Structures are given as structure tokens and as C-alpha cells.
């Protein structure tokens, strides 16, 4: 889907959990017998082609490093990242206000820690009199929260140069949308780092992009691969931001796709905001899997054309069902599901584990 959107001139951002999506940059192998067999069965011609890809990374090890300054977060969003209460967030706002009034940059967490320690010292306390002051106990809570954030690996995200979210909207000279996969294989043990980045990115996109209403072609599409991992490890702040984004960002020309194993993996408040679903075959090896299959079937519109439960069970042709919803996002019998067989993609499945990088990404 991301490849087809790219060919149509739509830039895409892909959260690549397993590191197997960057192969989109390399044309596929037309000599692969499995591909030849599938294309022959579909009576289609296979045309290998790569897509314009620019990998991003939160550590800088697997792509262009993505960073943001502490100042760009602002006190409210940073308070969510640090899990602060209302009083502690107000103190953080006081720190930001002091730095703004005195032209002091807050670039990384070290800047924030140094400012907190100074304002809590005998030398710095007089500067806070006009702001209301703060207790040493509250400063201690803030410092401990920052230490926890650093220990969980999120400190590498803060600093300069700051990533410009408008760079995600680029196209190539021939009109293809640039695909920006965020490589997350090296930070899978640091869920706080990913949550911090996504909170900032979604907030920046929502604040930066103008309202354009419904458009024929989106300006940007988001793909969250292995979305169940995103929601399992997400903080309450990130879940709230994702729900708000899914609810409101469509009017800014941005499409969001959650790629996961079953619809039940996505929280109901988020799932209810989605307008389309592509459902691949489901396996039911356990009682929990069988329950998930029945729940999935109930979310499709009723139809006399297909037995949805039978179609969703694994078969040799790997069917996929597409459910379209009305503008009110409620399933209707006027738009029954339909199934189709998928043609192999024109690119290779991955290159991240190969010993070389393609020239397009060197």
C-alpha cells in the first residue's frame, strides 16, 4: 500500500518495527519461481521496481537521526512524557517561562537539569520571585523523572539539529512520494524512547499542518507496523495523542494505517475512527484466537455474498477482505466486503540484514 501511494505521489511515514520494510528501495527478483507462479495464476505481468526511501533512526545507527529540542516539546507535552502531575507540570512551565524571558535555550535534558539546579540554588531563587517560586521537593521529583527518562534511553532523542516534520512531505523530481521508514529494531528494548518520539511527532504534525478538509489525494500517510506492540507499551499520554490524531488529523490531509494481527489489537476509541480495513486471513490455534476471529467477523457488514468467517480462515490463496465504511464510519449493508488475491510487490522484502546498502541510500 505504501508503495502504491508513493507511486501516486503521496509521501509515507512507516514505523518499521522489524526492519523488514526498507527493502522497498530495491527492485524485486523477477526470476523468483514463487513470484512467477503467482503472477501466472493472476494473468498479470511482473514489473520489478524500487521506491524512493530515506530511512530514519532514533539513534542514528540505521538511518538519518531524528532529534528534537526540549523547547519544542513545551511544558505540557514534556510533562506527559515525564508522567508529572498538574502541580509538577506547572513548575515545568515556570522553567520554560524563565528560559524564554531570559533567552536561554533548552536544547537537551542537560540544559533542563542545569536550569532546575540553578533556580533551586541560593543564587537562583531570587530570580523566581516574580514567577511564584518552587519547592526543593518538587525540583527533586522533576530531577528523578528526568533520570528515569535518561535511563530508558530517551535522552538521545533530545538535541540539535531538530528534525523538520515538513521533510516527511517530500516528493522526488519525477513525482513519487518519498517513503520514510523509521528503523526501530535497535530501540525495541527502549519503548519510552519510541513513545517520546511519537508524542512529539504527532503533536508537531497537528500544530504545523493547515486545515484543508477532505482532499482527493492525501498529503501524507502514516503506517504503524506491528501496531499491537505500539499500543502494548504505550503510555496513557501516547494513547491519548494517537486517539486525538486519528480523530482530527484527517482534515489536515493525513491518512493513518495501523498494521496489526487482529482488529482487537487496536483500542476501541482509535479503531472507531478508522474508515477502511484490509483484513488478511486469521489463524485460530487457541481459544483466544477463536474469540478474536468471531469478534472480527462481527465488525464486518452483513452480506449474502460471502461467509466472512470462512473467508478469514487460512486458505491456499491467502484471501483478504476489504471492509468499506460509510462517512459516519458505521458498517452498512450497502458496502459489503469483498475478497481478492494479492500480487507480489515489485520490490524486495528487505535489505536491512544484507551486508550492503543500495546506492539510493548510500
Closest CA to 206 of 195, 198, 215: 198
Higher pLDDT, 348 or 215: 215
Give yes or no for a contact between 78 and 196, defined as CB atoms under 8 angstroms apart.
no
Closest CA to 268 of 302, 290, 288, 295: 295
Most confident range (mean pLDDT) of 22-31, 82-91, 291-300 is 82-91
Domain extent for 258: 2-65+163-354
Q: What is the number of domains present in the chain? A: 2
Kindly tell me if the per-residue pLDDT of 335 is higher than 60: no
**Residue at which a domain ends, from 109, 140, 157:** 157
**Residue at which a domain ends, from 127, 157, 187:** 157
Residue 220: enclosing H or E segment and its boundaries? Answer: strand 220-224
Q: Do 133 and 222 have their domain in common?
A: no
3-state secondary structure of 181: strand
Residue 359 is assigned to a structural domain of this protein: no
Mean of the per-residue pLDDT values for the chain? 79
**Residue at which a domain ends, from 157, 191, 226:** 157
Kindly tell me if the per-residue pLDDT of 71 is higher than 60: yes
Q: Taking the model in full, what pTM does it have?
A: 0.77
Kindly tell me if the per-residue pLDDT of 360 is higher than 80: no
Cα dihedral 343→270→281→286 (10° resolution): 150
Most confident range (mean pLDDT) of 25-29, 67-71, 195-199, 337-341 is 67-71
Q: Do 197 and 140 have their domain in common?
A: no
Q: Do 113 and 254 have their domain in common?
A: no
pLDDT, tens digit, 9 for 90 and up, residues 29-65: 778 888 888 888 878 888 888 889 898 988 888 888 8
Q: Do 123 and 6 have their domain in common?
A: no
Q: Do 22 and 88 have their domain in common?
A: no
Spatial distance between the Cα atoms of 108 and 117, rounded to a whole number of angstroms: 15
Res 81: pLDDT: 85
Kindly tell me if the per-residue pLDDT of 222 is higher than 50: yes
Amino acid at each position: 500500500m505504501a508503495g502504491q501511494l508513493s507511486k501516486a505521489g503521496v509521501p509515507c511515514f512507516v514505523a518499521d518495527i522489524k526492519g523488514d520494510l526498507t527493502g522497498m528501495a530495491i527492485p524485486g527478483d523477477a526470476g523468483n519461481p514463487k513470484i512467477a507462479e503467482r503472477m501466472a495464476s493472476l494473468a498479470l505481468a511482473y514489473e520489478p521496481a524500487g521506491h524512493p526511501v530515506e530511512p530514519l533512526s532514533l539513534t542514528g545507527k540505521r538511518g538519518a537521526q531524528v532529534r528534537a529540542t526540549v523547547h519544542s516539546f513545551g511544558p505540557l507535552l514534556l510533562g506527559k512524557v515525564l508522567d508529572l502531575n498538574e502541580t509538577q507540570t506547572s513548575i515545568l512551565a515556570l522553567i520554560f517561562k524563565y528560559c524564554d524571558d531570559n533567552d536561554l535555550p533548552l536544547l537537551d535534558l542537560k540544559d533542563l537539569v542545569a536550569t532546575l539546579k540553578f533556580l533551586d540554588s541560593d543564587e537562583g531563587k531570587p530570580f523566581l520571585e516574580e514567577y511564584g517560586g518552587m519547592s526543593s521537593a518538587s525540583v527533586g521529583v522533576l530531577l528523578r523523572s528526568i533520570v528515569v527518562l535518561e535511563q530508558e534511553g530517551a535522552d538521545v532523542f533530545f538535541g540539535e539539529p531538530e528534525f523538520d516534520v515538513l521533510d516527511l512531505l517530500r516528493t522526488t523530481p519525477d513525482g513519487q512520494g518519498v517513503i520514510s521508514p523509521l528503523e526501530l529494531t535497535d530501540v525495541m528494548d527502549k519503548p519510552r524512547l519510541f513513545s517520546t518520539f511519537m508524542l512529539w511527532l504527532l503533536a508537531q504534525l497537528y500544530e504545523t499542518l493547515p486545515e484543508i478538509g477532505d482532499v482527493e489525494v492525501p498529503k501524507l500517510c502514516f503506517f504503524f507496523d506491528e501496531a499491537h506492540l505500539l499500543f502494548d507499551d504505550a503510555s496513557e499520554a501516547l494513547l491519548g495523542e494517537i486517539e486525538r490524531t486519528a480523530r482530527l488529523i484527517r482534515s489536515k490531509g493525513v491518512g493513518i494505517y495501523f498494521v496489526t494481527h487482529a482488529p482487537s489489537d487496536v483500542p476501541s476509541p482509535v479503531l472507531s475512527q478508522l474508515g477502511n480495513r484490509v483484513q488478511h486471513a486469521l489463524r485460530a490455534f487457541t481459544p483466544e484466537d477463536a474469540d478474536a476471529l468471531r469478534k472480527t467477523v462481527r465488525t464486518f457488514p452483513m452480506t449474502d455474498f460471502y461467509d466472512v468467517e470462512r473467508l478469514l480462515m487460512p486458505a491456499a490463496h491467502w484471501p483478504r477482505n476489504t471492509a468499506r465504511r460509510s462517512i459516519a464510519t458505521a458498517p452498512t449493508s450497502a458496502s459489503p466486503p469483498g475478497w481478492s488475491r494479492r500480487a507480489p510487490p515489485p520490490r524486495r522484502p528487505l535489505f536491512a540484514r544484507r551486508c550492503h546498502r543500495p546506492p539510493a541510500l548510500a
